[in-house]
Amino acid sequence: MPNARASHLTRRGLLAAGGALGLTAALSACGSEDKGESASDAKKSGPWQFKDDRGQVAKTKATPKNIVAFTGMAAALHDFGIEVKGVFGPTYVEDKAKGTKTPDVQAGDLDIDKVKVLGNVWGEFNVEQYAALAPDVLITDMWEKDALWYVPDQSKDKILKLAPSVALWASDHSMPKVLQRHVELAESLGADVRTKKVTDAKAAFEKAAARLRAAAKAKPEIKVLIGSASADLFYISTPARPTDTLYFKELGVNFVTPDKLDAGGWFEGLSWENVDKYKADVIMMDNRASALQPEALKSKPTWAQLPAVKAGQVIPRVTEPIYSYEKCTPILEDLAKAIENAKKVA
């Protein structure tokens, strides 16, 4: 639902002013469409290449060291043991009154003080600072075919001239497949994905999936709604496109499916007067900093009257998962627990 996110941000007036600074010099790009061995087979000491989910092959003379990535991608690579030099996308939440910055939910376990933040909001990407990092590769998500997540359209051409790019699907493919692609990318960059830490994390993920499947089978009557709130609208997402809910649906979770989706096929926006259009027993609420959280919705009478809200059956939803096993496992566990404990209220 990232187009939903972009639409949310547009409606909330949260898009950054945009526009990248000009460059005085550019490095040549190395990406190509050539065929070749998979990146996971590339030797650590020799030339590196990786075929991404656009079908493009990124190539460098040696395994990339100066990596710049979308924040969530950087957090996933960190969990596999690969560190980045710079990030772009939601990285910190700033309290201007206190003069403090705390990690955004999408930063995971990244040390935000040790990476160069090139942009923290939609439309923001400092191209000059990116060039100064002498990037070997840029890595990000892809929610729509060939669209690089959080790489601004207005400066995309300048950015992509500086280094090869890699984009992995973050939609339209089930979570296990997306996780495996992140494993392959991390391995190509030098990560040891056969360590006990990684294999144990994968086993825990599979155990959590089995728990969610069992919970959904035991309580098929429990209806789950995927929500995201703004001041004016309540967005209800389809489970069919995001990787997480697509997987949960495969595991048997009974989701509300809105019937009037936006042009991108992601969500339906409802006015707060009509927020009760769909009946739900459990509500999963977008946990991103760009969305209003349940605590901020208490003043809205129609929200307070929803059966799931009255029953206390509202849980956070990690709308943009960090694709490592250790970060995805709690997502499965939390939904399984919510369904196990849920009462039929709608």
- What is the DSSP code string of 88-121? ESS-EEEETTTTEEEE-GGGTT--TTSSEEEESS
Would the CATH topology of 12-192 be identical to that of 199-341?
Answer: yes
* pLDDT for residue 1 is more than 60: no
The mean pLDDT value for 141-148 works out to 96
pLDDT value of position 267: 95
Is the CB of residue 317 less than 8 Å from the CB of residue 284? yes
Domain chopping of the chain, boundaries: 12-192, 199-341
The mean pLDDT value for 217-225 works out to 98
- Find all residues with CB under 8 Å of 71, minimum gap 6, and list them: 87, 88, 89, 90, 91, 104, 106, 107, 110
* pLDDT for residue 191 is more than 50: yes
The mean pLDDT value for 202-222 works out to 98
* pLDDT for residue 30 is more than 50: no
CA distance 167 to 5: 18
3-class SS of residue 48 = strand
What DSSP element (H or E) covers 229? strand 223-229
CA distance 15 to 279: 32
pLDDT value of position 106: 95
pLDDT value of position 98: 87
Q: What is the DSSP string of 125-148?
A: --HHHHHHT--SEEEEEESSTTPP
3-class SS of residue 151 = coil
The pLDDT tens digits for 276-318 are 999 999 999 999 988 999 999 998 999 999 999 999 999 999 9
pLDDT value of position 160: 97
CATH architecture of residue range(s) 199-341: 3-Layer(aba) Sandwich (3.40)
Number of other residues whose CB lies within 10 A of the CB of residue 260:
10
Largest CA distance in the chain: 62
The mean pLDDT value for 158-184 works out to 98
For 338, list phi and psi in degrees, rounded to 5: -60, -40
Percentage of the chain with pLDDT > 90? 83
pLDDT value of position 44: 55
What is the pLDDT confidence band of residue 193, given thresholds at 50, 70 and 90? Answer: very high
pLDDT value of position 339: 98
Average pLDDT, the chain: 89
Q: What is the CATH number of domain 12-192?
A: 3.40.50.1980
The pLDDT tens digits for 33-77 are 333 343 334 345 689 999 999 999 999 999 999 999 999 999 999
What is the pLDDT confidence band of residue 31, given thresholds at 50, 70 and 90? Answer: very low
What DSSP element (H or E) covers 249? helix 243-250
The mean pLDDT value for 101-108 works out to 94
The mean pLDDT value for 173-196 works out to 97
Q: Is the dihedral of CA 179, 75, 243, 245 positive or negative?
A: positive
The two tokens of residue 19 are 């526009």
Is the CB of residue 46 less than 8 Å from the CB of residue 181? no
Q: What is the separation of C-alpha 262 from the centre of its chain, rounded to a whole number of angstroms?
A: 20
